[in-house]
Structure formats: C-alpha cells, structure tokens
Amino acid sequence: MGIAIAALGVLLLSALSFVVIPDPNTASIVGWVHDGGVIALSLFILGRSLYLLRAGNRSTSPAVPSPPTQPPAETAKPPAPLPTQTGEALILLSLLQEKGRFLDYLMEDVTAFSDAQVAAASRVVHQGCSAVIRECLALAPAHDGKEGERISIEASTDPQQYRLIGKVQAPPFSGVVVHRGWKTSKLALPRHTRPIDPAGENVITPVEVEVR
C-alpha cells in the first residue's frame, strides 16, 4: 500500500509541474508558492508512504510465541497419620492367658504328652478361657436351627450370615448346616491405654518373677 501511495504522489507532482501560470506579472509569486506547495506535498506523501510501509511490515511479521507458562509446582502433601490401634486384641489375649493359660497351651508341643495329660491340661484352659469369654461377650448360635438340617439360602441373604462350602454355584443355594456359627450382642473388652507399635514388639503378658 505504501508503494502505491508513493507512486500516486509522484504522478501528482508530475502533473503540478506542468500547470501553466496565465499572468506573467504574478509568475514569480505564484511560482514560489507553487514550488513550496509541491515540496510540502512531496514531503507529506513521502512521510505518509514510509509510515504505511512500516506499519505493513509490522502487521505481516510473524508473531513471536510467548514462552509457555509453567504450571505451579504442587506442594507435597503430608503423609496421612496412621490410625491409632488401641490393642483390644492384645488385651483379650492377655486375659485368656491370665485366666486360662491359653497361650501356654497353644504354644506348647504336646506330642510328648499322653492323651490323659493333654486332657487334664485342657480342662484348666477350658474353664479359665470360658470365664473370660462370658465376661466380655454375650455369645449365642448364629443359626437357630440344628446342625444337619437342610436349608435354602436366597441371593438377598446377608453374606456375613453364612459361609458357603462345597459345590457353590448360582443362587438360591441349598445345603446342610454343618456348624451353627456364633454371634454376640455384647463386646466389653478393657481398653488398651498404651499405643501399639505395628513394627515393634508389644508385650501381651509380662514376665513373671518370683522374688525370694
């Protein structure tokens, strides 16, 4: 566009240079005005042409892409605290050991003892552990019927109520009760006051020392 305007200015200047001045008395004044106007018009057209030419170059030059903005760095989240374990299971084991020598009985190798000796020891374990269970729980059979009876279990039945064994296919299930299960309506375990270390050692029952 700037080149076209410049060409038009040149044509206008050429045309003005051939304008005839009719009165010779005023030729000098008009000629001076004529020459000054031609110069001014030429400068204006030239400046305007350069301005438009520079503006055209700026508009056609490719835009420099701005550097991509970096996403804000994510702050590291603090690790979730481990749930506090109160150790009711350790309390229950401690009571079973204290009242019925439960852990002693389970951890002892009874292969070297006779059946009579094992039976005598199990009586003590049975009495002590039974007392602890009755104190902490209110146990009852989970199934009101009898062992050996046939029952039908629908698909909508609570899965925690029954444990299926044998040839399990699609519901409804039909089978024989081999164990009635257990349920409790009370759970009264003493609360463990010390924190439990899952990766460390936790004392169930302390070492017994007889002072002499």
Give the residue extent of every domain in the chain.
2-59, 88-159+170-187
pTM for this entry: 0.54
Q: Could you give the angle at the alpha carbon of 107 between the alpha carbons of 205 and 84, nearest 5°? A: 45
Q: Which two tokens stand for residue 138?
A: 């209110």
SS3 54: helix
**pLDDT, tens digit (0-9, with 9 covering 90-100), for 5-23:** 555 555 555 544 544 444 5
* β-pairing verdict for 182-187 and 137-141: antiparallel
**pLDDT, tens digit (0-9, with 9 covering 90-100), for 114-139:** 999 999 999 999 999 999 999 999 99
d(CA 70, CA 67): 9
